[in-house]
Amino acid sequence: MTAPSLSGGCQCGAVRFSATSLGRASICHCRMCQKAFGNICGPLVTADGLVWTRGATKYFQSSNNVRRGFCGDCGTPLTYEYEGGVEVAIAAFDRAAEIAPVIQLAVESRLPWFDRLAGLPTRTEAEAAKVAGFYASIVSHQHPDHHTSAWPPPSQPGGNHG
């Protein structure tokens, strides 16, 4: 893996982090990860030297051995923490595209249609043209993929998370 930016945060910007190095990146198909991410799997990477640079996570004790950290403001899933270390949600990193999973875990819980996802069709040009105006009208309130001294800006709805 090339050296990615080792910083990231939640969708609203209330919680930001950095790590000193990354370990194994995985996708976990266990039912707990599916529920925690509200998705078909939990994409996680081991994060060494994790520090919170803005805000702090809230936690849910998902089992006797694991707690999961998330942003208390926007709900973004951030961590999977256990006695042996901490893993961070891959897509929470600013440069998530550089962190490719190298293994699938808990495949016995993998949803039966998972392997067919890459073969699904995409929108036709005509279908894309129908929704282009809607997408062009969107003004994102999501935190950008880099550090900011404050977020959201004072003029943006939602105030200032510091």
* pLDDT, tens digit (0-9, with 9 covering 90-100), for 7-41: 999 999 999 999 999 999 999 999 999 999 999 99
Query: How many CA atoms within 13 Å lie on the side-chain side of 24?
Result: 8
pLDDT at 162: 36
Chain segment 143-152, per-residue pLDDT in tens:
888 888 877 6
Statement: 7-137 belongs to CATH 2.40.50.140:
no
- Please list the ranges in the chain whose pLDDT falls under 70: 1-5, 152-162
pLDDT at 154: 61
pLDDT at 68: 98
Give every CB contact of residue 62 below 8 A, 6+ residues apart in sequence: 32, 36, 68
DSSP code, position 123: -
- State which H helix or E strand residue 31 sits in: helix 31-37
pLDDT at 5: 67
Domains of the chain: which residue ranges? 7-137
| Beta-strand pair 21-28/103-105 | parallel
Q: What would the two tokens of residue 110 be?
A: 């993998």
Please tell me the pTM assigned to this model. Answer: 0.85
pLDDT at 155: 59
d(CA 152, CA 11): 11
pLDDT at 144: 83
SS3 state at 94: coil
Residue 3's nearest CA partner among 104, 103, 95, 87 is 95
**What beta strand segments (E) does the chain contain?**
7-9, 16-18, 21-28, 42-48, 51-54, 58-61, 67-70, 77-82, 85-89, 103-105
